[in-house]
A = this chain, B = another copy of it.
Amino acid sequence: MLEARVYVIMKPGVLDPQGKAVKSALDSLGFEGLKDVRVGKYFAIKLDDISKEKAMERLKGMCEKLLANPVIEDYKIEILDIKS
């Protein structure tokens, strides 16, 4: 089995109101020294055994079609080395 991690986050420059809200909540809880908080999504995906190249291609398709909005979001795909 293959395991992949997909990280989706707003492109730099795109307004992130959720991040702003989290930052001000942390500020008001007394956490000091925060410069910036951005919030994204994180997907842990398990796939049948296929080659890493094929998995990467398939995961890119998933990101473009569903997981991310490529107009405003960047994504990063990591494929983990698997035991079993």
Contacts and interface: CB of A to CB of B under 8 A. Distances in A.
A75 B42 CA distance: 12
A77 interface: no
A32 B50 CA distance: 11
B44 A9 contact: yes
A61 interface: yes
Interface in A18-37: 19, 22, 25-26, 29, 31-37
A67 B22 contact: yes
B43 A41 contact: no
A74 B9 CA distance: 20
B22 A66 contact: yes
B26 A62 contact: yes
